[in-house]
Amino acid sequence: MTDATDGPDERTHVDDRFHVFDTTLRDGAQREGISLTVADKLTIARHLDDFGVGFIEGGWPGANPRDTEFFQRAREEIGFRHAQLVAFGATRKAGVRAEDDPQVAALLDSGAPVITLVAKSHDRHVELALRTTLDENLAMVRDTVAYLCGHGRRVFVDCEHFFDGHRANPDYALEVVRTAYEAGADVVVLCDTNGGMLPAQVGATVREVIEATGARLGIHAQDDTGCAVANTLAAVDAGATHVQCTANGYGERVGNANLFPVVAALEIKYDRRVLPHGALAEMTRISHAIAEVVNLTPSTHQPYVGVSAFAHKAGLHASAIKVDPDLYQHIDPERVGNTMRMLVSDMAGRASIELKGKELGVDLGGDRELIGRVVGRVKERELAGYTYEAADASFELLLREEAEGRARRYYRIESWRAIAEDRPDGTHANEATVKLWAKGERIVATAEGNGPVDALDRALRVALERIYPQLAALKLTDYKVRILEGSRGTGSITRVLVSTSDESGEWSTVGVAENVIAASWQALDDAYAYGLRRAGVEPRE
């Protein structure tokens, strides 16, 4: 590491010798299920700049109004600290001069200082998809690169289908690289567009192209063989100095090379500085934040940044981790902003429960009988469909209940009812009523909401607000429903996970029942009990 003298908060620029190039906003947006607004794209660009990538490919200006607007607003609204904005486009049309091609003009108009041009390098694609001659394709590459360079832009050339093309017609594929490089492209990027390559092939090809052309090379790998990260690293091993990736591996079909494991490998395993100082420790947060913006649940099992990436379940591992966490972790999770977790499950032994108790600040003091009782209740509840791995707060309530020998309840429910209705006049109604006892008093409250669960939540708050004003600070932040198949022959059941926050944190609770309303009710009940407990409120049932 060369940054030992930097202050801990000072982010320094990475030099130009190695490029971390992100294409989440262009290629990543091709993923099934992703649809980005301009506002989404601006937010993601800010996260990527914050993380410290060198280049952010923002889209194809001119190809659709959204991308054109993005470039305009990004220039005006974002003060990039690390990244340069890149516009993506194609070489000029066949038979047209670069200066007369409106698509090329739109690239200049975008104002982006860097332009990535996609070029065909596979002879069959030139003939079938472009429907032009091999020579004209070379001229298209040469003219467009020279024209954009002449207008002061830095140009990278993406050779689409390079690896397949190189296998089919190596001379022509090499000629495309040479042409781009000689016309002024700074980097020629070899793309495994169909994603069919394996690391050994990628390494050998990159080596051969460097020897044959002397060009500065980049790599753009798709993940169709499950090897995109390894293919990217194999290209780096062979001499490539520019890696194109997407956040969380989003992209067409299976996806692209995932930015996070690529930069983590380079920084941690290669000991190579590719990000500003301090950025790696932000990686988990940034990965999850981008998932939120694209509205996809963060992958729990993503390397380095998944919530499961440092989660330990096996009893064997738990016992060893009590001795030394490094025995079952390849790195300290804090280096990438993640944390170690012990999982509570019916596979968990006493060691896991004890460690988990410690994590939650409940000292079980090696009480074998108590720990055994907790293990027993967890097994029994998980058999019924509960899951405590994702519901720490419900587990803590269970644990404390056993440790303290009694449930701490803030109220006692007599009954509840929720109604959802589409009326003949086209209006909707969602209404709920709760009847409960709190502080010796019987309270009946009714409320309306956006839906029956929301109405129940509001009715409960109305009923309790006088006695427990602290409830006003609690906010429902997430709500997940899963239908569990009755693999044990009991018919299907519904599991609801609710996330709730107050000013200082967030917690998750679980409910399981035959239907979504009843399961939600349970999860809400736990959420409020936990929230009141956190707030230091004494139960007064």
Site for a copy of itself in 417-436 (CB under 8 A): 417-424, 428, 430, 435
CA dist., res. 410 & res. 402, Å (int)? 17
Task: Candidates 71-79, 305-313, 351-359, 369-377: pick the segment binding a copy of itself (CB under 8 A).
Answer: 305-313
264 vs 397, which CB is nearer to a copy of itself? 264
CA distances (Å), origin 185, targets 156, 189, 239, 286: 5, 10, 17, 31
State whether the Cα torsion 164-168-172-178 is positive or negative: positive
State whether the Cα torsion 197-203-208-213 is positive or negative: positive
- Positions in 158-197 near a copy of itself (CB under 8 A): 193-196
Applying CB under 8 A, which of residues 156, 162, 181, 310 lies at the interface with a copy of itself? 310
Q: Shortest approach of a copy of itself to residue 476 CB, angstroms?
A: 9
Report residue 499: phi and psi, to 5°: -105, 135
Place of tokens 């289908």: 161
Question: Do 171 and 199 form a contact (C-beta atoms < 8 A)?
Answer: no
Place of tokens 């472009």: 130
Beta strands in 68-223 (DSSP E): 84-90, 114-120, 154-160, 187-192, 217-221
Applying CB under 8 A, the site for a copy of itself has a residue count of 113
239 vs 303, which CB is nearer to a copy of itself? 303
CA distances (Å), origin 534, targets 138, 363, 477, 531: 68, 17, 17, 5
Taking CB under 8 A as the rule, which mask of x and - marks residues 324-353 in contact with a copy of itself?
A: x--xxxxx-----------x-xxx------
Residue by residue, DSSP assigns 409-426 as: -S-EEEEEEEEEEE-TTS
93 vs 533, which CB is nearer to a copy of itself? 93
266 vs 371, which CB is nearer to a copy of itself? 266
> What's the token pair of residue 529?
């009990």
Applying CB under 8 A, which of residues 133, 295, 339, 490 lies at the interface with a copy of itself? 295
CA dist., res. 361 & res. 500, Å (int)? 20
Residue by residue, DSSP assigns 235-288 as: HHHTT--EEEEBGGG--STT-B-BHHHHHHIIIIIS----S-TT-GGGHHHHHH
Q: Shortest approach of a copy of itself to residue 133 CB, angstroms?
A: 17
- Positions in 32-61 near a copy of itself (CB under 8 A): 32-33, 35, 37, 39-40
Applying CB under 8 A, which of residues 96, 146, 210, 314 lies at the interface with a copy of itself? 314
Residues forming a β-bridge with 431: 419, 448
- Positions in 129-158 near a copy of itself (CB under 8 A): 129
CA dist., res. 125 & res. 117, Å (int)? 16
- Positions in 471-490 near a copy of itself (CB under 8 A): 478-481, 483-485, 487-488
Task: Candidates 48-56, 103-111, 314-322, 367-375: pick the segment binding a copy of itself (CB under 8 A).
Answer: 314-322
Applying CB under 8 A, which of residues 61, 337, 452, 511 lies at the interface with a copy of itself? 452
Taking CB under 8 A as the rule, which mask of x and - marks residues 90-129 in contact with a copy of itself?
A: ----------------------------------xx--xx
- Positions in 364-403 near a copy of itself (CB under 8 A): 382, 387, 389-390
Residue by residue, DSSP assigns 301-354 as: T-TTTSTTTTEE--HHHHHHHHH-GGGG-SS-GGGGT---EEPPSTT--HHHHH
* Contact flag: residue 442 with a copy of itself (CB under 8 A): no
Measure the CA dihedral 175/181/184/186, to 10°: 150
Q: Shortest approach of a copy of itself to residue 265 CB, angstroms?
A: 6
CA distances (Å), origin 26, targets 29, 72, 162: 6, 16, 19
Applying CB under 8 A, which of residues 19, 31, 178, 288 lies at the interface with a copy of itself? 31
Taking CB under 8 A as the rule, which mask of x and - marks residues 217-236 in contact with a copy of itself?
A: ------xxxxx-xxx-xx--
213 vs 520, which CB is nearer to a copy of itself? 520
* Contact flag: residue 304 with a copy of itself (CB under 8 A): yes
> What's the token pair of residue 130?
């472009």
Applying CB under 8 A, which of residues 15, 211, 301, 366 lies at the interface with a copy of itself? 301
* Contact flag: residue 467 with a copy of itself (CB under 8 A): no
